[in-house]
Amino acid sequence: MGRSPCCEKVGLKKGPWTPEEDQKLMAFIEKYGCGSWRALPAKAGLKRCGKSCRLRWINYLRPDIKRGKFSLQEEQTIIQLHALLGNRWSAIAAHLPNRTDNEIKNYWNTHLKKRLTKMGIDPTTHKPKTNIFGKDAANLSHMAQWENARLEAEARLVRESKKQISNQFGPNLATKPISYGNQRNILPLQTKIPPCLDVLKAWQGTNWTTKPKTKDMTSSVFYPFFDSPTSTSNLSNNNLFMVPNNNIPGLVDMNSCLVAASNFVENTKEEVQTEWKCYEKSNNELLSQINDISYSNDSSTYNMSITDQSSLCVIQGFTHLENIVGSCEDNIFEDDNNNNYWNTILNSCTLPADSPVF
DNA sequence: AATGATCACAACCGCGGAAGC
DNA sequence: CGCTTCCGCGGTTGTGATCAT
């Protein structure tokens, strides 16, 4: 193997960028736009490798970069997306306007990962470290299959998305890098987002039919944990918990949907008591603790207010979990235009192996 | 005040995939 | 169809800042 290096390394500078170098790079990109990174350093009069220039521009010099502390909302988004996408920082960054993948990756590694570990959550799997279901070993292969299907589906959707953009705007736009140098050429960030990631919109739906009772505490991060769809043949009625729903019957497999919540003081959003807890339907604990359930306007997600010992938590989740834990072949969605991520993935699971999209 | 440990983040490196020839 | 080149991504490292002793 062994490719030739991206550029001739002899005589090229490494390490921290000086203000003069930054100025040269910015001036060049403002004038000519970015792209063709290999040739850029020579043209811009920089003794740097093209990759280094690209990185400096994308992660630091770009005018639309938002710097500073991550908000609570951003933290939640990162954690939720990481649970869905894993370490695909660029995909996660697409949902955090003006944040770079590198910044998110660093923040994850230095803050969020440690925090989850401290809470007893495995930051890789987003599952509790304790083996509370006693079936982890059996689930490993299922999880691997599920992950593979998910990755394949996402790759397919990204490709389809690019194709759509290409059809709409011409053959070059979908693949050409975004130009940040000329403001008129800036491609809206959203254009890059594959439709599959719209799951976050459903997930984070904020218009609830009834407001959860939160007293003086309000919710924060939540974790649904899903089994592989291939593992559902063993579902028994005992595992299922029916969520009342105004429009669409919701069915949650509570054995597959672990929920954890931490509490924040309302208004300040300051975390006061991080108490992570996993619920199982089997012990009826959760059922007895539910105070109130409300649904997003499209009924795709729910808020469930739960009294946990002395504090009140609000838990959020999907109402359509039966589509995840149930049969891959059934598609009961009538709302077919909401780009439901999970449903899309499930559909992809049922595609024949020789499907042209893979 | 000095020193070692830890943290935070910018930057580098290697690899995979896409495009071009 | 195979090879080469380039871009972009994710993992890792290096280094300055901050904290603890």
Q: Which of A9-13, A119-123, A267-271, A304-308 reaches the highest mean pLDDT?
A: A119-123
* A278 contacts A330 by C-beta, under 8 angstroms: no
Q: Could you please report the per-residue DSSP string of A41-102? A: HHHHT--S-HHHHHHHIIIII-TT---SPPPHHHHHHHHHHHHHH-S-HHHHHTTSTT--HH
- Tell me the pLDDT band of A115, cut-offs 50, 70 and 90: confident
Which token pair is A322? Answer: 């039966």
Q: Is the CB of A42 under 7 A from strand C?
A: no
Higher-scoring residue by pLDDT: A279, A325: A279
* A180 contacts A30 by C-beta, under 8 angstroms: no
pLDDT 10s digits, A155-200: 455 444 444 444 443 333 333 333 333 222 222 222 233 333 344 4
Of the ranges A149-153, A260-264, A317-321, which one carries the lowest mean pLDDT score? A260-264
Q: Identify the pLDDT of residue A78.
A: 86
Angle subtended by helix axes A341-350 and A136-169, to nearest 10: 100
- Tell me the pLDDT band of A130, cut-offs 50, 70 and 90: low
Who contacts A338 (Cβ-Cβ below 8 Å, separation ≥6)?
A: A198, A202, A298, A300
Q: Identify the pLDDT of residue A30.
A: 83
> Which helix (H) or strand (E) element contains residue A303?
strand A301-308
Q: Under CATH, what is the fold of the domain A72-119?
A: Arc Repressor Mutant, subunit A (1.10.10)
Q: Identify the pLDDT of residue A101.
A: 85
Q: How far is A155 from A351, CA to CA, in rounded Å? A: 14
* Common-topology check for domains A19-61 and A72-119: yes
Q: Identify the pLDDT of residue A167.
A: 44
Check residue A71 and report its DSSP letter: P
* Separation between the CA of A174 and the C1’ of C6 (whole angstroms): 17
Q: Identify the pLDDT of residue A80.
A: 82
Which token pair is A263? Answer: 């509490």
End-to-end CA distance of chain A: 26
Q: Which of residues 109-128 of A touch strand C (CB under 7 A)?
A: 109
Q: How far is A163 from A138, CA to CA, in rounded Å? A: 39
Inform me whether the pLDDT recorded for A124 exceeds 50.
yes
Coil, helix or strand for A122?
A: strand
Domain edges within chain A: 19-61, 72-119, 133-164
List residues, Cβ < 7 Å, touching strand B. A 1-3, 5-6, 13-17, 48-49, 51-52, 55-56, 59-60, 67, 102-103, 105-107, 109-111, 114, 159, 175
Q: Which of residues 79-98 of A touch strand C (CB under 7 A)?
A: 87-91
Could you give phi then psi for residue A296, rounded to 5 degrees? -70, 165
pLDDT 10s digits, A247-273: 222 223 333 333 333 333 233 333 333
- Tell me the pLDDT band of A221, cut-offs 50, 70 and 90: very low
Q: How far is CA A176 from CA A4, A59, A89, A193, A308, in A?
A: 24, 19, 20, 15, 51
Average pLDDT, chain A: 52
Q: Identify the pLDDT of residue A121.
A: 78
Q: Identify the pLDDT of residue A188.
A: 29
Q: How far is A251 from A290, CA to CA, in rounded Å? A: 15
**Antiparallel, parallel or unpaired: β A311-318 and A290-295:** unpaired
3-class SS shares of chain A: helix, strand, coil, % to 5: 40, 15, 45
Angle in degrees, CA A222, A68, A118, rounded to 5 = 40
CATH 1.10.3470 fits A19-61, yes or no: no
Q: How far is A173 from A85, CA to CA, in rounded Å? A: 25
Work out the average pLDDT over A19-32. 84
Q: Identify the pLDDT of residue A234.
A: 27
Work out the average pLDDT over A332-336. 29
pLDDT 10s digits, A43-93: 888 888 888 888 888 888 888 788 778 888 888 888 888 888 888 888 888
- Tell me the pLDDT band of A307, cut-offs 50, 70 and 90: low
Which token pair is A224? Answer: 């649904």
Q: Identify the pLDDT of residue A198.
A: 42
